Amino acid sequence: MGARRIGVVGVPPLGCVPMLRTLQGGINRGCVTTYNQASEEFNSALSIGLQRLNTDLPDARIDLWSPLGVAVVQGRWRLQYCAAA
């Protein structure tokens, strides 16, 4: 018994959160690279751990969903983002 299909949500690029862009993004309010790198490292470690679980639990399917991946694949126009002046 138990769950056979599990979805896990990865961490989005935290350096692009509006608060961080305002407080630490400089005059242009750019994304903060160090926070984005930390998000990438976390998601990478999470992915490796989930691959191990998928190997150890052959009857289960554990998927990692990446918010950034969806934004890149669908394009910002599909998500109704617009450039701000």
* pLDDT, tens only, 2-43: 778 889 999 888 888 889 889 988 888 888 889 989 998 999
Q: Is 81's pLDDT higher than 60?
A: no
Is pTM beyond 0.75 here? Answer: no
Q: Give the 3-state secondary structure of residue 78.
A: coil
Q: CB of 42 within 8 A of CB of 73?
A: no
Q: How far apart are CA 34 and CA 14, in angstroms?
A: 9
- Nearest-10 Cα torsion for 40, 41, 43, 45: 160
CA distance to 20, 37, 42, 80, per residue, from 77 (Å): 23, 25, 27, 5
Percent pLDDT > 90 in the chain is 25
